[in-house]
């Protein structure tokens, strides 16, 4: 669409330019006492020759990169085209007029005509070069934009698919153990694991889902983890009914919860309470996830492990903001805060 507009504008400008110079030429010639008929024919013919030379040179410069050598070629080409144009013009005008005075004038003005046509051709050549250059550059920009978009999408899908193999293999091991004494329980866990995996492969990284949907998915995950860790793992999820329709990127919270469980279970001994609270803050969705940890042994950089940095990266790619994930350590509780803007 843009390109069409550009072409259209170019045609109009060129036509106006041509009419303007034709008018100037007619005026000048009439003033020097040349009959109107001859003046008009002369102007139209000059214009036609100019158009021919200008078109030629514009096509030629399309394939030239701007350089000193090529600038020389353009000058030579414009001289040759101007000479050819003058010969053609001379021939046409002689065919069309029999006015003796006019023909004498024509002969005496040949040099100035040549210079005029040459300069015009040169200007058109330079203008054409600039036009092609701008066009090429805007196409290049478009390409860069497209590449960036594709990279962003690839990165998003990459971040999303970081399913922990540990989780999968340990879950399968639990199922294997259950098949012996509690086959019914084993079947249930296979179902949960399947539902969970289906949920993770179905969604694309850009997609926004409702909090309701995300929490349902999390519940499947937590149920599986509870089978694995038994009574050690206690989870509390609270979200007001009114918040359930708010939107957030799909599968955003699972890695955060995974991180919380990992730190909770592997950094402390005994019962572990993991909690998730959904709130609103100035219309944004605010998720708070808490897990216990041991401030004595946890390295100071703990919590910025892969789980959280990938979540932060995803939020930045989707919302173009870097301040949406923050962490707080309060005594032996680690709090992860996630803000999701509602568009």
Partner 1 sequence: MKVIIIDDEPLARGIVKEFLKDFSQVDVIAECGDGFEGVKAIAENHPDLIFLDIQMPKINGFEMLELIDNPPPVIFTTAFDEYAIKAFETHAIDYLLKPFGRERFDKAMNKWLSQKKPNASAALAEEISPPESQNRVVVKKGQNIVVLPVQRIHYFEAFDDYVKIHTTEGFYLKKKTMSYFEKTLDASQFVRVHRSYLMNLQELTRIEPMEKDNHVVLLKSGTRIPLSQTGYAKLKGVLGI
Report the interface residues with partner 1, using CB under 8 A.
165-166, 169-170, 172-178, 180-181, 227-230, 232, 265-269, 294, 296-300
Nearest approach, Cβ of residue 226 and partner 1 (Å): 11
CA atoms of 181 and 75, how far apart (whole Å): 93
Nearest approach, Cβ of residue 184 and partner 1 (Å): 15
For tokens 């995974």, the residue is: 258
CB nearer to partner 1: give 200 or 210. 200
Nearest approach, Cβ of residue 199 and partner 1 (Å): 21
User: Angle CA(233)–CA(238)–CA(239) in degrees, nearest 5?
Assistant: 145
Nearest to 248, CA basis, from 167, 142, 325, 165? 325
Nearest approach, Cβ of residue 264 and partner 1 (Å): 9
Three-state SS at 249: strand
**Backbone region of residue 35 per phi and psi (left: phi > 0; alpha: psi in -120 to 50; beta: other values):** beta
CB nearer to partner 1: give 240 or 271. 271
CB nearer to partner 1: give 70 or 170. 170
CB nearer to partner 1: give 26 or 233. 233
CA atoms of 132 and 298, how far apart (whole Å): 61
CB nearer to partner 1: give 44 or 333. 333
Burial of 295 (0-12, 13-18, 19+ CB in 10 A): middle
CA atoms of 156 and 12, how far apart (whole Å): 46
Nearest approach, Cβ of residue 318 and partner 1 (Å): 30
Q: Where are the alpha helices (DSSP H) in 2-109?
A: 2-31, 36-62, 68-96, 100-108
Nearest approach, Cβ of residue 204 and partner 1 (Å): 27
CA atoms of 66 and 68, how far apart (whole Å): 7
CB nearer to partner 1: give 277 or 294. 294
How many Cα neighbours within 13 Å face the side chain of 75? 6
Nearest approach, Cβ of residue 326 and partner 1 (Å): 23
Nearest to 323, CA basis, from 286, 293, 279, 283? 286
CB nearer to partner 1: give 157 or 176. 176
């Amino acid at each position: 669409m843009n390109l069409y507009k550009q072409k259209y504008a170019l045609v109009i400008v060129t036509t106006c330019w041509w009419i303007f110079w034709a008018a100037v030429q007619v005026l000048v010639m009439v003033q020097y006492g040349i009959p109107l008929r001859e003046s008009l024919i002369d102007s139209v013919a000059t214009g036609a020759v100019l158009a021919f030379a200008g078109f030629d040179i514009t096509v030629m410069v399309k394939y030239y990169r701007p350089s000193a050598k090529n600038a020389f070629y353009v000058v030579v080409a414009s001289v040759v085209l101007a000479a050819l144009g003058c010969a053609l013009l001379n021939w046409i005008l002689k065919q069309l007029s029999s006015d003796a005075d006019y023909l004498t004038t024509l002969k005496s003005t040949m040099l100035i005509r040549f210079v005029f046509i040459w300069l015009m051709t040169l200007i058109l050549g330079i203008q054409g070069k600039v036009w092609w250059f701008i066009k090429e550059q805007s196409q290049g920009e478009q390409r860069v934009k497209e590449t960036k978009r594709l990279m962003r999408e690839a990165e998003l899908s990459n971040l999303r698919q970081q399913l922990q193999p540990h989780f999968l293999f340990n879950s399968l091991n639990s199922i294997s153990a259950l098949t012996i004494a509690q086959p019914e329980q084993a079947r249930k866990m296979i179902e949960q694991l399947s539902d969970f995996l289906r949920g993770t492969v179905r969604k694309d990284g850009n997609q926004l889902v409702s909090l309701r949907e995300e929490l349902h998915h999390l519940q499947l995950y937590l149920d599986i983890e509870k089978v694995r860790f038994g009574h050690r793992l206690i989870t509390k999820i609270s979200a007001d009914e009114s918040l359930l329709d708010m939107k957030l990127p799909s599968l955003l919270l699972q890695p955060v919860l995974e991180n919380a469980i990992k730190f909770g279970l592997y950094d402390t001994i005994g019962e572990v309470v993991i909690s998730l609270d959904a709130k609103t803050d100035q219309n944004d969705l605010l998720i708070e996830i808490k897990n216990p940890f041991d401030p004595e042994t946890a390295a100071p950089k703990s919590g910025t492990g892969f789980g959280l940095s990938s979540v932060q990266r995803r939020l930045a790619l989707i919302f173009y903001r870097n301040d949406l994930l923050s962490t707080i350590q309060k005594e032996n509780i680690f709090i992860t805060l996630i803000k999701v803007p509602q568009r």
